[in-house]
Amino acid sequence: MSEPRYEVIAIGNAIVDVVSSCSDELIEELGMPKGGMTLIDADQAQELYDAMGPAREISGGSAANTLAGLSALGVQCAFVGQVAADQLGSVFAHDIRAVGIDFDTPAREGEPPTARCLIFVTPDGQRTMNTFLGASQFLPATALDEEAIGAASILYLEGYLWDPEEPRAAMRRAIETAKNAGRKVAFTLSDAFVIARYGDDFRALIDDGLIDILFANEVELGAITGEEDFEAGIAALQDKVPTLVVTRSEKGAVALSGGERAAVAAEPVDEVVDTTGAGDLFAAGFLAGYVKGRSLETSLKMGAIAAAEIISHYGARAEEDLAKLMAAKLG
Amino acid sequence: MSEPRYEVIAIGNAIVDVVSSCSDELIEELGMPKGGMTLIDADQAQELYDAMGPAREISGGSAANTLAGLSALGVQCAFVGQVAADQLGSVFAHDIRAVGIDFDTPAREGEPPTARCLIFVTPDGQRTMNTFLGASQFLPATALDEEAIGAASILYLEGYLWDPEEPRAAMRRAIETAKNAGRKVAFTLSDAFVIARYGDDFRALIDDGLIDILFANEVELGAITGEEDFEAGIAALQDKVPTLVVTRSEKGAVALSGGERAAVAAEPVDEVVDTTGAGDLFAAGFLAGYVKGRSLETSLKMGAIAAAEIISHYGARAEEDLAKLMAAKLG
């Protein structure tokens, strides 16, 4: 059991996305912060669902989306996350296993149901997310396979899951396990609201040298460093994390690693349909390059290519063959 | 309660589609008849789902798809169909109500779960369907609102639902109610396998003058009439049903009504992504024209436009605003 079974093990929310297109007026009417992510309870979820147009259900979850991309790119992955023993839980489990990812966390009996994220997509392709965490917030530390984590090259964690107590404890333990085994820990800051709540925790993790690869977007970089200026934000973090990756939407992305700095432009997209998962798939493309020993610039480019695929359709799981797409675009 | 609340009331399977793209090899490996519809039991459903790639869930059901299109085109509709009291049942109910359709059939407690259709879509856009009817086959006649049926302009029925006994009895009763009130009955033959099993029933309905508007595709026309030749098939039916509509995929469609005959070409489509629902939406466009008193040719054209929208994306519910699309295309 001690040979490295996985290149990447991720811990994240096990969520089914409920995706519907809507008007800007509806966003305003429902008082949702456009482009943001809001945690909601069961009653709010019902209320918002009632106000939502016809939808499609597509498996989601930030880290799970990243793993799905990694797996499509030939990286051996395992996912740890909590679903309930219900139909949406079966859907989530099916979809993640169907892309070749090991997922062994036992489904949780009883209430609450499997997590869902109500995603309202406006005509500009922007997504406004409302997450009912459901069973996801009860992921116990006992769900961790410490041997596998100790043997995997990278432990990948999503900041979103820092909010509920049990998964936070599980993630702290996983970080310890990975670091004790000399493995790398990758972390995505997920959203400015998470940083608002847990920024001190995250800064402590960074200062303690527990994060090897940090993913942030421009807003999150500002929130975690307190620096409004992009370059000042980079400067504040670059010596604290061995690899820093910052995405900037249509302005592309920047990465710093081992004294090197690389930047890449955003990949052109015919039509931005739904930006859900753009950051998740950027992380997938980048990490695929990273574990395969590609250059910093190529890894960034791979992130940009994967992100461009995701925003050209509804849902945060790839519809095109990402490996073929990479081969075609990277030459 | 006696004013006509609805222009169209439909009785059909209440199904959530589970849609996944797949290779032609997988279709062959699983031994599925490509392009067809197969009824499967719970065990087969689990087996096929295990073999299926990552999927998205989108509400479906033939008559329900047709109603969703009609409602988008401004026609007042109600749907009658049986879901279970489970998550997929809630998804189905939400999606049909979200497009403005009344749906009051109470969810059924206990097993079996809500119906689902596992749809494998090959690169040519062809769909191969495997339906687990679940709760759908237990629709009782008590679910019918006979007053509303007696007051609605059109009762719309799908042949698929003729297979299970309870819904068949409910549909027979609904036909009687509609005809006694002097209303029109529209019927879609659904699939050649249904005709193979229940062709005698359908021919009796037709011979007894109980079907006012009959929808068939070319294959179904051959199956119901026993005529291999298209024109011979038309000739065999044209005097028995007041309005006959036959779709011919990329060859367009033909309609005969009151001694008049009209034909329309298929609408051009950039890329055929998924043909699921093409017939359902053709019926929606045609019936929308019919209830609004448009000409036979315009009604056919409306059918072709709605069908073209559906096959240009995954899923059998419209993604574009059909009313706007009609306005743009019809001028």
Q: What string of H, E and C letters represents the secondary structure of chain B?
A: CCCCCCCEEEECCCEEEEEEECCHHHHHHCCCCCCCEEECCHHHHHHHHHHCCCCEEEECCHHHHHHHHHHHCCCCEEEECCCECCHHHHHHHHHHHHCCCEECCCCECCCCCCEEEEEEECCCCCEEEEEECHHHHHCCHHHCCHHHHHHCCEEEEEHHHHCCHHHHHHHHHHHHHHHHCCCEEEEECCCHHHHHHHHHHHHHHHHCCCCCEEEEEHHHHHHHHCCCCHHHHHHHHCCCCCEEEEECHHHCEEEEECCEEEEECCCCCCCCCCCCCHHHHHHHHHHHHHHCCCCHHHHHHHHHHHHHHHHCCCCCCCCCCHHHHHHHHHC
Residue A23's alpha-carbon distances to A127, A303, B16, B118, in angstroms, are: 11, 30, 25, 31
User: With an 8 Å Cβ cutoff, are B57 and A56 in contact?
Assistant: yes
Q: Closest Cα of chain B to A78: distance in Å?
A: 16
Q: Which residue of A has its CA nearest to B101?
A: A54
Contacts of B172 (CB under 8 A, 6+ apart): none
Contacts of B204 (CB under 8 A, 6+ apart): none
User: With an 8 Å Cβ cutoff, are A57 and B57 in contact?
Assistant: yes
Residue A22 falls within a domain, yes or no?
Answer: no
Mutating which of A56, A103, A114 best tests the B interface, going by the most B Cβ atoms within 10 A?
A: A56
Q: Closest Cα of chain A to B55: distance in Å?
A: 6
Report the pLDDT value the prediction gives residue A1, as an integer from 0 to 100.
42
Residue A159 falls within a domain, yes or no?
Answer: yes
The count of other CB atoms within 10 Å of the CB of residue A204 is: 11
Mark A226-241 as b/e (b = at least 16 C-beta within 10 Å): ebeeeeebbeebeeeb
Q: Closest Cα of chain A to B78: distance in Å?
A: 16
Q: Which of A53, A58, A94 sits opposite B49 (nearest CB)?
A: A94
∠ CA A217-A223-A225, nearest 5°, is 100
- Provide, for chain A, the percentages of residues in helix, strand and coil under a 3-state DSSP scheme, each rounded to the nearest 5: 45, 20, 35
- Structure-token pair, residue A72: 């499509």
Helix (H, G, I), strand (E, B) or coil at A109: coil
Q: Which residue of A has its CA nearest to B89?
A: A87
- CATH code (residue A75): 3.40.1190.20
Do B174 and B155 meet the contact criterion of CB atoms below 8 Å apart?
yes
Q: Residue B18 carries which side chain, given as an amino acid letter?
A: V
The span from the CA of A171 to the CA of A188, in Å, is 13
DSSP state of A250: G
Residue B160 falls within a domain, yes or no?
Answer: yes
Q: Which of A56, A86, A317 sits opposite B87 (nearest CB)?
A: A86
Do A304 and A253 meet the contact criterion of CB atoms below 8 Å apart?
yes
Residue B36 falls within a domain, yes or no?
Answer: no
The edge-to-edge listing of strands for the beta sheet with B15-21 is A37-39, A127-132, A115-121, A15-21, A56-59, B56-59, B15-21, B115-121, B127-132, B37-39
Residue B33 falls within a domain, yes or no?
Answer: no
Q: What is chain A's alpha carbon radius of gyration, rounded to the nearest angstrom?
A: 18
Residue A127 falls within a domain, yes or no?
Answer: no
Mutating which of A19, A52, A57, A95 best tests the B interface, going by the most B Cβ atoms within 10 A?
A: A57
The span from the CA of A229 to the CA of A232, in Å, is 5
**Spans in chain A with pLDDT lower than 70:** 1-4
Residue B208 falls within a domain, yes or no?
Answer: yes
Residue B136's alpha-carbon distances to A57, B130, B143, in angstroms, are: 20, 14, 12
Chain A residues bordering chain B (beta-carbon distance below 8 Å): 20-21, 49-50, 52-59, 68, 86-88, 91, 94-96, 98-99, 113, 315, 317, 319
Measuring CA to CA, which residue among B32, B64, B72 is closest to residue B318?
A: B72
**Residues of the domain holding A301:** 8-14+62-107+138-330
Diameter over CA atoms, chain B: 55
Residue B113's alpha-carbon distances to A86, B88, B108, in angstroms, are: 11, 8, 9
Q: Which of B52, B56, B68 sits opposite A57 (nearest CB)?
A: B56
Helix (H, G, I), strand (E, B) or coil at A157: strand
Q: Which of B49, B50, B317 sits opposite A54 (nearest CB)?
A: B317
Q: Residue B86: its chain A contacts at CB < 8 A?
A: 86-87
Mutating which of B59, B67, B91 best tests the A interface, going by the most A Cβ atoms within 10 A?
A: B91
Q: Which of B49, B53, B99 sits opposite A54 (nearest CB)?
A: B99
The span from the CA of A199 to the CA of A204, in Å, is 8
Report the pLDDT value the prediction gives residue B15, as an integer from 0 to 100.
98
Residue A1 falls within a domain, yes or no?
Answer: no
Measuring CA to CA, which residue among A4, A8, A1 is closest to residue A174?
A: A8
Do B16 and B57 meet the contact criterion of CB atoms below 8 Å apart?
yes
Q: Residue A94: its chain B contacts at CB < 8 A?
A: 49-50, 52, 54-55
Measuring CA to CA, which residue among B143, B169, B138, B186 is closest to residue B289?
A: B186
Please give the tally of structural domains in chain B. 1
User: With an 8 Å Cβ cutoff, are A49 and B95 in contact?
Assistant: no
User: With an 8 Å Cβ cutoff, are A94 and B68 in contact?
Assistant: no
Q: Closest Cα of chain A to B194: distance in Å?
A: 28
Measuring CA to CA, which residue among B102, B21, B18 is closest to residue B60?
A: B18
Do A173 and A30 meet the contact criterion of CB atoms below 8 Å apart?
no
Q: Which residue of B has its CA nearest to A96?
A: B54
User: With an 8 Å Cβ cutoff, are B54 and A99 in contact?
Assistant: yes
**Spans in chain B with pLDDT lower than 50:** 1-2
Q: What is the ipTM of this complex?
A: 0.94
Chain B residues bordering chain A (beta-carbon distance below 8 Å): 20-21, 49-50, 52-59, 68, 86-88, 91, 94-96, 98-99, 113, 315, 317, 319
Per-residue pLDDT reduced to its tens digit, B174-205: 999 999 999 999 999 999 999 999 999 999 99
Mutating which of B94, B118, B120 best tests the A interface, going by the most A Cβ atoms within 10 A?
A: B94
The span from the CA of A11 to the CA of A9, in Å, is 7
DSSP state of A69: H
Phi, psi for residue A162 in degrees, rounded to 5: -75, -20
Helices (H), chain A: 24-29, 42-51, 62-72, 87-98, 146-151, 165-180, 192-207, 218-225, 230-237, 278-291, 296-311, 322-330
Q: Which of A91, A113, A317 sits opposite B57 (nearest CB)?
A: A91
The answer to whether the peptide bond before residue A4 is cis (omega within 30 degrees of 0) is no
DSSP state of A84: B
Phi, psi for residue A26 in degrees, rounded to 5: -65, -40
